[in-house]
Amino acid sequence: MSTQKAHIWLRDEDRSTERRTALTPKNARILIEQGFDLTVERSDKRAFPDKDYEKVGCTLADPRSWVDAPSDTVVLGLKELAETPSELPHRMIHFAHIYKDQTGWEKEMARFVNGGGLLYDIEFLVGEDGRRVAAFGYWAGWMGAALGVHRLLERRAGKNIITNGVSPFESQSDIIDKLKALADEVDGPMPNAIVVGAKGRSGTGASECLEAVGLPVTKWDMEETRILNRTALLSHDLLVNCVLMTGPGLLLANQTHLSAPQSRMKVISDVSCDPFSDFNPLPLYKAPTSWTDPVIKVGKNSEGDDVEVTSIDNLPSLLPAQAAEEFSDQFLAPLMRFPDGVEWKNAELKFHEIRQKAGL
């Protein structure tokens, strides 16, 4: 078992829209008190200012200086890396999105293998019970539902607001107030929604958002999708998909299904957002939508209305501080067990399993 605490290097995110972080200043202070060395790259987009990290004892460094950090440094981030450097010699912690045959997964694995590094993919940090030790799922579901219902309600009111792009919101309550005001612009019953994967973290967040706005919500999980009633599914105005697929077995809807008789679906928020996977239960689009173009048209329903998809792959960054605080609080205990905790051993085993699968 390791006795010396690791040197953790919190990197600036390569993605320009990523304002979240895996480690808040509050929890950085706790790690330092426990004997960890912490270097934090300066960032002009992170939801927490550099000075707050410096104040608790972190050493500040320039963005992307992790590339030249000593090889025993542990590089911590959230989202995937830029394409350079071509070889990765460090132990790295982040969501890589390469373990489910996503486009380019073999090339990304080769960067670690050729550099002698190791990836601890946060999605596969699981405890003895097989559950992830930390996740943004709740906020992904909540924000995905918020964007979906926003588009649905603005269409009902004859508006096009989020089609011009989205940016981070001040708070959860601010979003709810805006959605309620949009709903009040039109008399009559509220549109209805269905959340698939409702019992998980994302599904819980999605359901709570929709209920807070006042939409009638149908909640489906494994029992309801085992034998899928697609007609019932598509009879809703809004679908929020929160199903995390790790293998074949579930097709919610394809292009043909959207225009089937009794289909009144208008907006689909695909929180799970896995268009590059062979297991995607919504093969309606080929790439995630974005902050600048959050909604795309994918077909028409049986009534001739457009069916649109929103599928942004870093939804919690639209509420960056709130999402990061909750995640960092979940992640603190596992970080304190690095590298000997069961979650780290499980993640390392997963890395070697995928490396062998790639023939590297």
Beta strand residue intervals within the chain, DSSP E: 7-10, 37-41, 59-61, 74-76, 91-94, 118-121, 193-196, 217-220, 238-241, 267-270, 296-300, 306-310
Give yes or no for a contact between 236 and 307, defined as CB atoms under 8 angstroms apart.
no
Which CA distances in Å does 309 have to 9, 69, 144, 224?
37, 41, 11, 23
State both tokens at 182: 């949009």
Judge whether 26 counts as a catalytic residue: no
Give the whole-angstrom CA distance, residue 205 versus residue 348. Answer: 30
* Residues in a beta bridge with 307: 299
Cβ-contact 346, 97 below 8 angstroms: no
Within 10 angstroms of residue 215's Cβ, the number of other Cβ atoms is 23
Supply 274's token pair: 């896995």
Q: Which of 97, 100, 219, 266 is catalytic?
A: 97
Q: How far apart are CA 229 and CA 240, in angstroms?
A: 16
- The DSSP result for 238-273, as a single string, is EEEE----SSS------HHHHTSTT----EEEESS-
150 is catalytic: no
d(CA 239, CA 95): 26
Among the options 5, 45, 79, 178, which is catalytic? 79
Contact, 108 vs 338, CB < 8 A?
A: no
Q: Which residues are catalytic?
A: 79, 97
